[in-house]
Amino acid sequence: MKKIAPSILSANFARLQEEINEVEQLGVDYLHIDVMDGHFVPNITIGPLVVEAIKPITKLPLDVHLMIENPDKYIHTFVKAGASIITVHQEACTHLHRTIQQIKKHDVKAGVSLNPATPISTIQHILPDVDLVLIMTVNPGFGGQTFIREMVPKIEALAQIRNDYHYDFLIEVDGGINEKTAFTCAKAGADILVAGSAIFGQEDRKHAIHTIRQSIERFQGE
């Protein structure tokens, strides 16, 4: 089953509760939360206090995407704040295996993310340990960027490895996802489609979610 994860990065932060309630009622699957520290990426966004505030107002699993240096230092804080999935960047972790184990010690799913320039081979040896691999389809840091087409064979290659080795991690894609690129990524093997500007950036969220859902549903069940 392919899943949709709206990124609140493009939501109206002054009315975050209404924004979240709206997409939840429209039947999305996760809430994607982009945490940026101004060091690993140039932008500064959301911290654990916001995650903690969101937790009681939604039943959606909170998919926390940590674009921060030293993520180990903050795992416990984001677990306490209510994260359901914690994804760290390979590029931000000197001891990635240890970081993944640290996340898994808590009752949350562990994800690892790759920047567009980072090859899959860098996470080859931790693939049996992760619940999710997030392929960045833009350079992380900002919403509303253009999908990098060269990431499609990367998604295909990862899906092939998962198949060959019978791994069970989910493949998530993030950046520049709209109804067209969602279709391409779903076809390439992605399970979770993150969309910020294509959902929260649109006035008609019902239509936005419906068109993305329609474009990926032909791959449902595969």
Ligand X SMILES: O=C(CO)[C@H](O)[C@H](O)COP(=O)(O)O
Binding site for ligand X (CB under 6 A): 7, 9-10, 32, 34, 65, 67, 138, 140-141, 143-145, 174-177, 194-198
User: Which bin fits 191, alpha (ψ -120 to 50), beta or left (φ > 0)?
Assistant: alpha
Nearer to Co ion, 23 or 166 (CB): 23
Contacted by 89, from Co ion, ligand X, none: CB < 5 to 8 Å by type: none
Residues 135-174 that bind Co ion (CB under 5 A): 174
Residue 63 is among the residues annotated as catalytic for this protein: no
* Chain centroid offset of residue 85 CA: 9
Q: How far apart are CA 24 and CA 136, in angstroms?
A: 24
Residue with the two structure tokens 């449902």: 220
**In degrees, to the nearest 5, what angle opens at C-alpha 11 toward C-alphas 115 and 199?**
75
The residue from 34, 37, 63, 191 that is catalytic is 34
Taking CB atoms, the residue at the shortest distance from ligand X is 196
Q: Is 221 annotated as a binding residue?
A: no
Task: Check residue 177 and report its DSSP letter.
Answer: -
Neighbours of 169 (CB within 10 A): 22
Contact present, 138 and 147 (Cβ < 8 Å): yes
Residue 65 in the binding site for Co ion (CB under 5 A): yes
Q: Is 196 annotated as a binding residue?
A: yes
**Residue span 6-45 as binding mask against Co ion, x where in contact by CB under 5 A, dash where not:** ----------------------------x-----------
Residue 34 is among the residues annotated as catalytic for this protein: yes
Annotated catalytic residues are 34, 174
Q: Where on the chain is the footprint of Co ion (CB under 5 A)?
A: 34, 65, 174
